[in-house]
Amino acid sequence: MTETMSNIGWSVIFSVVGGLVGMALILLASVVVTRLMCRLTPNIDEEKEIARGNRAVAEYYSRIVAACILGVSMVVAAAVLGGVLSALH
C-alpha cells in the first residue's frame, strides 16, 4: 500500500514540475519565435502592418507563432506523460 502511495506522490510531483517547466518553455518559445520572425523578415515590420490592418501579415504571423507554440506544447505534454508513467511503474 505504501509503495502505491509513494508512486502516486511521485507522479503528482512530476506532473506539477513538468507543468511549471512546460509553461516556462512555452513562454520562452513564444518570445523566441516572434524574435526569429522579425529576423527572418527584416524589411517587414509585422507589428506596424498588423496595426495598419494588413490581414495577410496578421494571419501568416499568427499561424506561424501558433504552430510553434502547439509543437512545443506537444513535446512538453509527452515529457510530462512519460514522467508520470515512469513514476507509476
User: Which sequence spans correspond to the domains of the chain?
Assistant: 2-88
State yes or no: pLDDT of 52 exceeds 90: yes
Report the mean per-residue pLDDT for the chain: 85
pLDDT at 89: 73
**Model pTM score:** 0.73
pLDDT band, very low/low/confident/very high, at 5 (cuts 50, 70, 90):
low
Beta strand spans in 1-89 (E): none
Listed residue (73, 69, 65) closest to 34, CA to CA: 65
Mean pLDDT confidence for 34-45: 88
pLDDT for 71 equals: 92
Instruction: Please give the pLDDT value at position 4.
Output: 63
